[in-house]
Structure 1
Amino acid sequence: MSARILVVDDIPANVKLLEARLSAEYFDVATAYNGTEALAMCERAECDIVLLDVMMPDMDGFEVCRRLKSNPATHHIPVVIVTALDQPSDRVRGLEAGADDFLTKPVSDVALISRVRSLSRLKMVTDELRMRALTTREIGIQSAERDAINETGRNGRILIVDDRKSSYERIAQTLAAEHTIDIETNPSDAMFHAAEGDYDLMIVSLGLQDFDGLRLCSQVRSLERTRGLPILAIAEPDNNQRLVRGLEIGVNDYLIRPVDKNELLARVRTQIKKKRYTERLRDNVQASIEMAITDGLTGLHNRRYMETHLGALAEQAASRAKPLSVLVLDIDFFKSVNDTHGHDAGDDVLREFALRVRKSIRNIDLACRYGGEEFVVVMPETDMAVAAMVAERLRRKVASEPFSIQGGAGQLTVTLSIGIAAFGGPGDDVAAMLKRADQALYRAKRDGRNRVVADAA
């Protein structure tokens, strides 16, 4: 789907010109003639990228940009300031207001379109993460947008790849006041350095003596460990075609020599802010996935995850002719714990019980809270005899040491009953195996509790 570009300018002729340029490249174009109208359209999520003029009567472009970037609903929308202002101080002011780029009129079609395409690709990635992260707010995870608004873009780790001493020393000196800087003068080693360094930004000179800087940028984008690492290219004034190519292969931003120190600082902050925002989105998505498959009280996997994962393990056991065993565990007389000592004490017992289970099994074993005080342990490549040994060891571990409750104010003796079943191979299914283990657990309960019973089948 083509990105929708919002063109904001109070001069109709300028709007028509940009609209024609963008439409010719098959972008969907929306227009606004003042800042208030633009803010409202962005709030309604009617655009993917904003091309913003500065000199407007009701509200200048710097203020529009600041408002967009300070609003959690519009913070993620890329903003490109397109203006006749051409002083370095103007560019810095725009970048500090939160703009993703600052283009000076007259803007060449190639530069404009390549920049819009680059930002639209990045926006699509961000939108996918934002969509996946939406549910995290509903389950209590802090919004990444609110953190992003307060992000300064400072205290980053930056790798400079440059083989000209006079160049990298000036860049490093400028950035050292706000960031930790590493310098790599050998481009051939830069890839390994970037992969191992946990950097927030990579600055690459496109004027390397015996190495193509764009090839290095392409390699960074192709490697999984560095795919999300922002790249800031430094180019000579006559390198426009290479810069356009760089944006196409994944360079995030660029500077033209001679490098203005304030603009360098501003662009570096912008890229680090974006990276940290994207990382927060990914962390939120991961947290929501973990919450969906994890029992919140015990930290073990939940029943939904177990049922899905158990099916895959059974298929694997059948195809490889390997054993698979399952334990169904139930805490004896758990209802009386809640009735006598309260649900907080019951929760203390469940948490400690889960911890003892986890310590008693292997990393490849799967421990889940099946519901209430019932737990399941799935043991790949384990036959019934070994499973019985593990179950008996776990039973003794639980019964031998009292459980602390109410912050250590009290102690309870807890026992459990365990039923065991083994997967019967092709023709068997996990539901039947779980049922056999549950029936064995029932016999353990019937025969006096605090014991291990294996399925007789």
Structure 2
Amino acid sequence: MKILVADDESTPALFLRRTLERLGHEVVVASNGLEAWERLQADAFRLVITDWMMPGLDGLDLCRRIRGRGDSSYIYIILLTAREGLQDRLAGLTAGADDFLSKPMDPAELAARVGIAGRIVAMQEELERKNVQLAELATTDGLTGLKNRRCFDEALTTACSFAVRCGYPLSLMMFDVDHFKTLNDSFGHPAGDSVLATLAEILRSETRDHDVVARYGGEEFTVLLPATVAEEASQLADRLRMTVRNHPWSQRAVTVSAGVATTGADLATGPALLEAADRALYHSKRSGRDRVTHHDSFQGEIASSHARDPMAL
């Protein structure tokens, strides 16, 4: 474990360093509270052992600063003190200390208290890992590993606001697997899932790192393309369509239809951009499938997604 020791007295600091290093820990020593605070900004420590009385920034103030950082990674704090009174202990706990170590220090007690700190830190790290996993599950589609609809909706709102504010174009592609229902009926849902997973990998591998690729729902996928004009987005959508068409599918040939929309005077919000791409996708479906339509390229009123004929998809 990486431990930060803060003590303005050289002899106790040397004792701590040598004892902790013999226990197998990596130790960094700061000669006062301010230096300890600076080291905490520059490096990651999970355990801080600090003296109470130090010039400039004492141990209580250092505890308060650590607790006020709001970091996701918890730092365990042991406060060194010769004070034994209840009020002193309460003051230390209120400031944010987790444990106390009496001065002069006993090596066996030091080892025991650091061992307790290590167990608590290990449990905290496991909790942090689980929280990260839960956060990923909340924003990730389980089948494809892409962003899910919830995450996409949030990204769309943010990207549209940024594009309008900064005057950058933002394009949105929507893809739908052609005749997906018949594929499932003919070869089973595992085969359909395999197609969706492969399509997700194609979209992910053929787009940029900062593009947002998501499974929108069922057999529909979306791709947000920041700083991408209509022509570039249409060309990319068609290249992806051809990649899907030419892929060596195991059961039968698979094709996709696509709709593309780009921000403009009439498309300045996420819902408007999404509806435009959806209409363009519907136009591709009604025009024969396996094709790309940009919202700006066709005329006439197209039925909204709420009025779709499910058998046409």
* 2:140–2:147 CA contact under 8 A, matched in 1: yes
Residue in structure 1 matched with residue 4 of structure 2 by the alignment: 159
Q: 1:294, CA displacement in angstroms?
A: 1.9
Per-residue deviation, 1:419: 1.0
- What residue number does 1:314 align with? 160
Q: Distance in 1 between matches of 2:113 and 2:293?
A: 67
Show structure 1 runs of 5+ residues with no match.
1-155, 404-409
| Structure 1 letter corresponding to 2:242 | R
Amino acid in structure 2 at the alignment position of 1:193: R
Q: In structure 2, give the amino acid aligned to 1:170.
A: F
Q: Cα distance, 1:237 vs. partner?
A: 4.3
What is the match of residue 425 of structure 1?
265
Per the TM alignment, residue 241 of structure 1 is displaced from its structure 2 partner at its CA by 6.8
How far apart, CA to CA, are the structure 1 residues paired with 2:57 and 2:270?
58
**Residue of structure 1 in register with 2:293 after alignment:** 453
CA deviation after TM superposition for structure 1 residue 426, in Å: 5.8
TM-score w.r.t. length of structure 1: 0.56
Superposition RMSD in Å: 3.2
Q: How high is the TM-score relative to the length of structure 2?
A: 0.79
Unmatched runs of 5 consecutive residues or more in structure 2: 300-313
Alignment partner of 2:257: what SS? strand
1:291 to 124, 133, 137: 137
Question: 1:170, 1:443 → 2: CA distance?
Answer: 76
Structure 1 pair 371–264 and aligned structure 2 pair: CA distance change class (3 A): same
Q: Is structure 2 residue 65 aligned with structure 1 residue 219?
A: yes
Contact 1:220-1:227 at 8 Å conserved across structures: no
Rounded to whole Å, the distance in 1 between the matches of 2:124 and 2:134 is 15
**Which residue number in structure 2 is paired with residue 353 of structure 1?**
199
Whether the aligned pair in 1 keeps the contact of 2:4 and 2:30 (CA below 8 Å) is: no
Distance 2:278 2:73 in 1: 48
Partner residue of 1:397 out of 234, 243, 254: 243
2:260 corresponds to 1:415: no
Other structure's SS at 2:78 match: strand
SS in 2 for 1:287: helix
- Larger relative contact order, structure 1 or 2 (CA cutoff 8 Å, min sep 6): 2
Displacement of 1:296: 0.8
| Alpha-carbon contact 1:230-1:275 (below 8 Å) kept | yes
CA contact (8 A) 1:162 1:183 kept: no
- Give secondary structure in 1 for the equivalent of 2:48: strand
Verify the 8 A CA contact 2:169 2:227 in the aligned structure 1. yes
Displacement of 1:366 in angstroms is 2.0
Count of aligned residue pairs for this structure pair: 296
8 Å CA contact retained: 1:195, 1:226: no
Matched, 1:375 2:221: yes
The letter of the residue matching 1:375 is: F
Cα 1:196–1:318 shift into 2, 3 Å? closer
Residue 38 of structure 1 corresponds to: none
Distance 1:208 1:239, change over 3 A: farther
Is the 8 Å Cα contact of residues 395 and 450 (structure 1) preserved in structure 2?
Answer: yes
User: 1:375/1:232 Cα in 2 relative to 1: closer, same or farther (>3 Å)?
Assistant: same
Distance 2:56 2:176 in 1: 68
**In the alignment, is residue 260 of structure 1 matched against residue 260 of structure 2?**
no
How far apart, CA to CA, are the structure 2 residues paired with 1:250 and 1:395? 58
Query: Is it true that 1:270 corresponds to 2:116 in the alignment?
Result: yes
- The within-5 A match list for 1:7-406 is 156-176=1-21, 178-187=23-32, 188-208=34-54, 212-225=58-71, 228-237=74-83, 244-403=90-249
Residue identity (%):
34
